[in-house]
Amino acid sequence: MVSFSSPAKSLSKTRGTGEAVMYRFLQFDKSFPLRSVLLVSRHLTMALALLTSLVMGCEASQPSPDITLEVSSCTSRVDARTLDAVAALVYDLDSLLEPRMASGEASLLTIPELQHLLSDEQWEVVAGLLDRANTISEQEPLSCDRTEDRDRFVALTTDQGRSFFVLTDARADVQQLLAAATADNVVLTIASAHRNAGYQLFLLLFYLAQYDGCLEEELELIALPRASEHVCSDRQAIDFATAEGTTLPEGGREVAWLTEHAADFGFTLTYPTTSDAGIGSEPWHWCWHPANSSSASNQLDEE
Ligand SMILES: [Zn+2]
């Protein structure tokens, strides 16, 4: 049994699916000016680099050992030109996807649709980056159905007014789980539900700047489309969150409630702390399986 002080720490040790860090940002899906974050963070990095070089230039020509060490520790950092190209296309994509964010429709973006939103030159950058990420990543492809048939999903709006897409067959169980938690005075919200591969790829592009272009570090926290359970359409992965929309803390009462009751609604914990598959604990990531549904027998009768 290994205990971690935070989800982010546990994910950094093993394969992760990007949730710990992602949700701190994605909870602002509808209202936060994402493009401002990107530009400010990129400009801040450049300004600091310029300032550092100016100070170093005045004092001495010796670079800081700390800075040298940090830069050389990443063996898969994309070059500055690619990083700028990605920041620019993310800026464009963010504007194009903005109208679909509030309804949750953005999460249904397919890879062909993503490509269609970009110029040929931009797509070349994305395809090259995905190729490289697929090559360096040790994330195994998940064996699951990835049908992106829009008719299989339905919008679910939480009490907090955020909308997510879930498998139509899973909606009743998700709603009943949330209601049962509320009845037990445990407030659970949803941070993320179904994501088509194009949206998962968009997330990879979006967060690249947060890691200053270091792919290996980003891939410890953001899953490739081939490895994210949220992309599967034969099950429904849900990331639950606290009332405030933050990641569920390990050992918290929300996780305790889910551990006791989630199975009643067809959910199992995908990455438990005790996983012996080298996968980091994700106490917020639960997956609904049709065979475990509370109404599985009814569905079989209907079919
Ligand atoms: Zn998840």
The whole-angstrom separation of Cα 303 and Cα 299 is 6
**71 and 161 share one domain:** no
Q: For residue 26, is it within any domain?
A: yes
CA dist 191 to 44, 123, 241, Å?
28, 28, 6
Residue 182 Cα to ligand 1 midpoint, Å, equals: 21
For residues 130 and 178, state if they share a domain: no
- What is the CA(161)–ligand 1 centre distance, in A? 20
Residue type, 94: D
Structural domain includes residue 34: yes
Based on the fold, state whether residues 154 and 268 are members of the same structural domain: yes
In angstroms, what is the span from residue 20 Cα to ligand 1's centroid? 9
Q: Please indicate, yes or no, whether residues 76 and 170 belong to a single structural domain of this protein.
A: no
Q: Which residues pair with 241 in a beta bridge?
A: 189, 247
CB-CB contact of 14 with 278 (8 Å): yes
| Contact between 160 and 196 (Cβ < 8 Å) | no
Domain holding 115, by residue range, is 19-136
Residue 186 in any domain: the answer is yes
Give 66 Cα–ligand 1 centroid separation in angstroms: 34
Determine, yes or no, domain membership for 218: no
Residue 280 in domain: yes
Q: Give the integer Cα–Cα distance in Å for 201 and 207.
A: 10
Classify each residue of 72-83 as buried b or exposed e, where b means 16 or more C-beta atoms within 10 Å of its C-beta. Answer: eebebbbeeebb
Q: Indicate whether 155 and 273 sit together in one domain.
A: yes
Q: Ligand 1 mean position to 195 CA, how many Å? A: 10
What is the three-class DSSP state of 42?
helix
Residue 235 lies in a domain: yes
Q: What is the CATH classification number for the domain harbouring 159?
A: 3.30.1380.10
DSSP line for 163-209: EEEEEGGGHHHHHHHHHHHHHTT---EEEE----HHHHHHHHHHHHG
- The answer to whether residues 185 and 231 belong to one domain is yes
Number of domains in the chain: 2
Report the separation in Å between the CA atom of 19 and the middle of ligand 1, taken as the mean of its atom positions.
6
| 1 assigned to some structural domain | no
Give the span between the Cα atoms of 226 and 144, in whole angstroms.
10
Residues 115 and 43 in one domain: yes
Is the same domain home to 164 and 121? no
Please state, in angstroms and as integers, the Cα–Cα distance from residue 160 to each residue in 23, 95, 239, following that order: 15, 24, 15
User: Are the C-beta atoms of residues 165 and 154 closer than 8 Å to each other?
Assistant: yes
Task: Find the 228 Cα to ligand 1 centroid distance in Å.
Answer: 8
Q: Are residues 230 and 283 in the same domain?
A: yes
* Ligand 1 centre distance from Cα of residue 49 (Å): 35
158 and 248 fall within a common domain? yes
Residues 6+ apart with CB under 8 A from 49: none
> Are both 116 and 164 inside the same structural domain?
no
* 128 and 187 together in one domain: no
Report how far ligand 1's centroid is from the alpha carbon of 25 (Å). Answer: 14
Domain membership flag for residue 7: no
DSSP secondary structure letter of residue 279:
B
What is the distance in A from the centroid of ligand 1 to the CA of 212?
Answer: 23
Domain boundary, last residue among 87, 110, 136: 136
The rounded Å distance from CA 90 to ligand 1 centre is 22
Task: Report the candidate in 50, 44, 42 with the shortest Cα–Cα distance to residue 80.
Answer: 42
From first to last of its 303 residues, the chain has per-residue pLDDT tens of 322 223 333 333 333 444 444 443 443 332 333 444 444 455 555 555 445 444 444 343 444 445 444 455 899 999 999 999 999 999 999 999 999 998 999 999 999 999 999 999 999 999 999 999 999 988 888 999 999 989 999 999 998 899 999 999 999 999 999 999 999 999 999 999 999 999 999 999 999 999 999 998 898 878 899 999 999 999 999 999 998 889 999 899 999 999 999 999 999 999 886 444 444 678 999 999 999 988 764 544 444
**Domain ends where: 136, 162, 181?**
136
Calculate how far, in angstroms, residue 17's C-alpha sits from the geometric centre of ligand 1. Answer: 6
**pLDDT given for residue 19 in this prediction:** 47
C-alpha of residue 55 to centroid of ligand 1, in Å:
43
Residue-level pLDDT at 280 = 65
